[in-house]
Amino acid sequence: MWHAAMWGGISGSAVLLGALAAVFLPIKKRLIGFIMAFGTGVLIGAATYELLEDSVESGGLYATAIGFLGGAVVFSILDIIISKKGAKNRKRSSGNTAENSSGLAIFIGTVMDAVPESIIIGASLIGQQTVSMLLVIAIFISNIPEGLSSTAGLLSSNYSKKKIFALWFAVLIISAICSFSGYTLLDNASEELMAGIAAFAAGGIIAMVGSTMMPEAFEEGGAITGLIAALGLLTSLILDSL
């Protein structure tokens, strides 16, 4: 069960790594856009191949559809709420996206992104004792630019580097705890419930990709964004086939 916490912590650590890069390395926004585009493709593939496909096979289309739509709706509602509080551009790398931002809202938004992802990482260990590497890689890639852009917002909100790193370390711990909880609490869940939860996470991931990652990827990456996203989706397919 401790493997669940470890893999959740690994996926959450990408936010901390992104923060370190934002503080100490001059990374071009175009490169961040490319990373975001690739992560978009990988996440779409992970949601499709690893979550939705398995959900339909194990729990049926009805449970999967309800879970998927529920995840998309809940994420969208929460995203609207925290966006109005100052976390609208938490995955944006541009310096001016920090304007009118709230440090607490950015942190809450990052946690909101991390919780369902981490829970499903832990749940993927149930029954097979092997984590879904596709999910871990996809979430890890998407969290790096979030750490970069969120750190820019916090710095502009006059947060100290020490406090910023403490916040992102807290995200790492929360991710590990949620992954551990996903493994322990869902161990005896029915196939229909597991299917609904996995689909719920998939719906949240797709909603998050569409509202936060795709716009940034195209804005910074330009016309080549589609090709890089396609490469990310192909990578998901390859990883799922291994």
Q: Please determine, for residue 66, whether its predicted confidence score (pLDDT) is greater than 90.
A: yes
**What is the per-residue pLDDT for 229?**
93
- CB atoms under 10 Å from CB of 18, counted, come to 24
Structure tokens at 183: 């493994």
**What is the per-residue pLDDT for 232?**
92
Chain Cα centroid distance, residue 31: 19
**What is the per-residue pLDDT for 185?**
81
Structure tokens at 221: 């990456």
**What is the per-residue pLDDT for 176?**
93
The larger pLDDT score, comparing residue 112 to residue 165, is at 165
188-212 pLDDT, tens digit each: 778 888 888 889 988 988 998 888 7
Helices 161-185 and 2-24 pack at an angle, to 10 degrees, of: 160
133-184 pLDDT, tens digit each: 878 888 888 788 778 777 876 777 778 889 889 989 999 999 999 999 888 8
What's the mean per-residue pLDDT of the chain? Answer: 82
In Å, how far are 35, 122, 165, 207 from 223, measured between CA atoms? 14, 37, 34, 22
68-105 pLDDT, tens digit each: 999 999 989 988 887 777 666 555 555 444 444 556 66
Q: Are 38 and 229 in contact (CB under 8 A)?
A: yes
